[in-house]
Amino acid sequence: MAEKKKRLPDDVVEYTLFPPIPGNLKEYEIMKFLEEFADTYMTFLSSLLIDYIWQNEPFILKPVTEVGSVNDHSQSKG
């Protein structure tokens, strides 16, 4: 049976970032790395996003490490 993908509402855009993860990190260090990555990008983007009107939710980056995901990554919806 084919796996059903979740469908986003038509007025939602989802961004997925795949940062290069250093190969020397232990599994428990990957989430910390992704959290720091998301914080760094949010700091960089904050001045660009301040004047943009978000309809439903604010722009946010959050680390995602899910079993079955393509790779560990940061994800955002806006």
pLDDT tens profile 22-69? 999 988 899 999 999 999 998 998 888 877 766 667 778 888 876 545
Residue 5 lies in a domain: no
Choose among 56, 63, 22: nearest CA to 41: 63
pLDDT at 36: 94
Residue-level pLDDT at 24: 93
Spatial CB neighbours of 35, under 8 Å, sequence gap ≥ 6: 63
| Amino acid code (one letter) for 15 | Y
Which three-class secondary structure state does DSSP give residue 60? strand
Residue 23 lies in a domain: yes
Per-residue pLDDT of 6-25, as tens digits, reads 777 777 777 788 889 899 99
23: containing domain: 14-77
The count of domains in the chain is: 1
Rounded to the nearest 5 degrees, what angle is found at the Cα of 76, between the Cα atoms of 48 and 49?
10
In the prediction, which pLDDT does 72 show? 46
Residues 6+ apart with CB under 8 A from 61: 17, 38, 41, 42, 74, 75, 76
pTM above 0.85, yes or no: no
Domain assignment of residue 2, yes or no? no
Q: Is residue 9 part of a domain?
A: no
